[in-house]
Amino acid sequence: MDVNKTRIINLRTLIAESNLTQEKFAERCGTSASTLSQILSPKGKRGLGPKLARKIETAMQLEEGWLDTPRQSNNDTLAASFKYAPKIIDLKVEDAFVKQPGAQHHPALMPISGWDSQTPLEDDEVEVPLFMEVELAAGTGATEVVERQGPKIRFSRSTMRSAGVQPEHAAACFAKGDSMGNVVPHGAAVGVDTSCTDIIDGEIYAIEHGGMLRIKYLYRLPNGGIRIRSEERNEYPDEDLYGDQLHDFRIIGFVFWISTVRRRR
């Protein structure tokens, strides 16, 4: 992944974790909200140059080069990410963290509240549908990608605003396999903007291909072709689709958010 893509991925996460609107974040960093929107837009062509990157790092009290560094699905950033991560229904975490008497707590750490599917939505929350593979007929092995009825994932509206995503266009899914390496690890929760299905070369999309739900880089090819690319290209070569090969291919949407839970070994 080139450094510009890395900066933009880290910038999206940083804004979401900052507890600021995009306008306030831009003001703090000495730039404009429109500049950030152009950088973050999946249809935009404006990059995040080194001068502005260093300016943002200084304003947010980060070490120089922080935005340039690829991260493990952006989970080794600020601990505040817990507040803005999607909430997976019926996943309870209140027992996983015990506050010890007299323990020192970093001011960036934010409390985690346990909840389940019966907990009412907060004012800044929205539920989004969950896409998954389902088997078409028992024993055949054939699958298709459908919107799952029942469990959903919750996002904060501020996270969506930061990413420029309208709540009615948001969806979610879980990544499977190791083809996307540390960019989208196996089991990662992925936020998808279903309104963005036009291909921007080198961006990450959720796709349905032959009944499989996949998270991949996409590229346009001459004569209407599409290239599917993995992060781990040595093990997973590029796939070029043309003509009839595109009949069982569709773009679900642009991936605007990636998160994973890391388990201690």
pLDDT tens, residue by residue, 68-113: 888 654 444 433 333 334 444 333 333 333 344 444 444 444 455 5
Whether the predicted pLDDT of 235 surpasses 60: yes
Whether the predicted pLDDT of 188 surpasses 90: no
The answer as to whether 55 is a domain residue is: yes
The answer as to whether 82 is a domain residue is: no
Whether the predicted pLDDT of 142 surpasses 70: no
Report the CATH number that the domain containing residue 35 is assigned in CATH. 1.10.260
Task: Indicate whether 27 and 129 sit together in one domain.
Answer: no
Whether the predicted pLDDT of 212 surpasses 90: no
Task: Indicate whether 132 and 11 sit together in one domain.
Answer: no
What is the reported pLDDT for 100? 41
pTM value > 0.75? no
**What mean pLDDT comes out for the span 49-78?**
76
The answer as to whether 136 is a domain residue is: yes
Task: Indicate whether 128 and 230 sit together in one domain.
Answer: yes
The answer as to whether 107 is a domain residue is: no
The answer as to whether 83 is a domain residue is: no
- Tokens 């072709």 locate to 225
**Residue 223 pLDDT level (bands cut at 50, 70, 90):** very high
What is the reported pLDDT for 115? 55
The answer as to whether 212 is a domain residue is: yes
Cβ neighbour number for residue 114 with a 10 Å cutoff: 12
Whether the predicted pLDDT of 139 surpasses 70: no
Whether the predicted pLDDT of 44 surpasses 60: yes
Report the CATH number that the domain containing residue 249 is assigned in CATH. 2.10.109.10
Task: Indicate whether 140 and 240 sit together in one domain.
Answer: yes
**Residue 220 pLDDT level (bands cut at 50, 70, 90):** very high
Whether the predicted pLDDT of 58 surpasses 70: yes
Burial of 74 (0-12, 13-18, 19+ CB in 10 A): buried
| The 3-state secondary structure of the chain, one letter per residue | CCHHHHHHHHHHHHHHHCCCCHHHHHHHCCCCHHHHHHHHCCCCCCCCCHHHHHHHHHHCCCCCCHHHCCCCCCCCCCCCHHHHCCEECCCCCHHHCCCCCCCCCCCCCCCCCCCCCCCCCCCCEEEEEEEEEEECCCCCCCEEEEEEEEEEEEEEHHHHHHHCCCHHHEEEEECCCCCCCCCCCCCCEEEEECCCCCCCCCEEEEEEECCEEEEEEEEEEHHHEEEEECCCCCCCCCEEECHHHHCCEEEEEEEEEEECCCCCC
Q: Supply the range of the domain harboring residue 55.
A: 3-70
Task: Indicate whether 27 and 128 sit together in one domain.
Answer: no
Task: Indicate whether 139 and 29 sit together in one domain.
Answer: no
**What mean pLDDT comes out for the span 192-196?**
92
Task: Indicate whether 148 and 227 sit together in one domain.
Answer: yes
The answer as to whether 121 is a domain residue is: yes
* Higher-pLDDT residue of 48, 2: 48
Task: Indicate whether 118 and 228 sit together in one domain.
Answer: yes
Report the domain count for the chain: 2
**Residue 117 pLDDT level (bands cut at 50, 70, 90):** low
C-beta separation of 191 from 253 below 8 A: no
Task: Indicate whether 126 and 245 sit together in one domain.
Answer: yes
**What mean pLDDT comes out for the span 143-147?**
70
* Higher-pLDDT residue of 158, 255: 255
Task: Indicate whether 126 and 59 sit together in one domain.
Answer: no
**What mean pLDDT comes out for the span 11-18?**
79
The answer as to whether 98 is a domain residue is: no
Task: Indicate whether 66 and 117 sit together in one domain.
Answer: no
**Residue 196 pLDDT level (bands cut at 50, 70, 90):** very high
Whether the predicted pLDDT of 221 surpasses 90: yes
Task: Indicate whether 131 and 249 sit together in one domain.
Answer: yes
What is the reported pLDDT for 249? 95
